[in-house]
Amino acid sequence: MALPKKGLRKITIDDNQFVWKVRKKISWEEKHDGQLGIPIQHIDGGQMLIVYVGFSRSYFSENNEFAITPVLIAKSIRKAIDLGWKYKDKGQVFILDCSDLVNDDSEI
């Protein structure tokens, strides 16, 4: 499974290029207090990473305004790799909770 190319953003981590995307349209799950899942994948394909940062775009949630930054994406990718994400291999989606990184002010 690959990410649709429209609206992709690129980021380079340790000489590897990754793509990620935040959908403009709010999904049904998000409207009903589901967390936003950010898909990330190596530019050449491979195992998909879905990152959850504890952010919801629901109209009913208090936590509905949040900036998804390249710094947060970079930290999420590094955490996933440390936890065993094999980004170049085919395989099931790797799901990761990165809500602990949202208020982390340390450098990448």
pLDDT in tens, 31-87: 545 677 889 999 999 999 999 887 765 555 555 556 788 998 999 999 999 999 999
Cα–Cα nearest to 20, from 5, 31, 30: 5
Q: Is residue 70 included in any domain, yes or no?
A: yes
Q: What are phi and psi of 74, to 5 degrees?
A: -60, -45
pLDDT for position 33: 53
Domain extent for 57:
9-101
Residue 3 included in any domain: no
Flag whether 4 is in a domain. Answer: no
Q: Are 101 and 76 in contact (CB under 8 A)?
A: yes
CA pair distance 39, 57, nearest whole angstrom: 16
Residue from 77, 99, 96 nearest 88 by CA: 77
d(CA 75, CA 77): 6
pLDDT of residue 7: 73
Please tell me the total count of domains within the chain: 1
- Domain annotation covers residue 26: yes
Kindly state whether residue 49 falls inside one of the protein's structural domains.
yes
Residue 16 covered by a domain: yes
Checking if the pLDDT of 103 tops 80, the result is: no
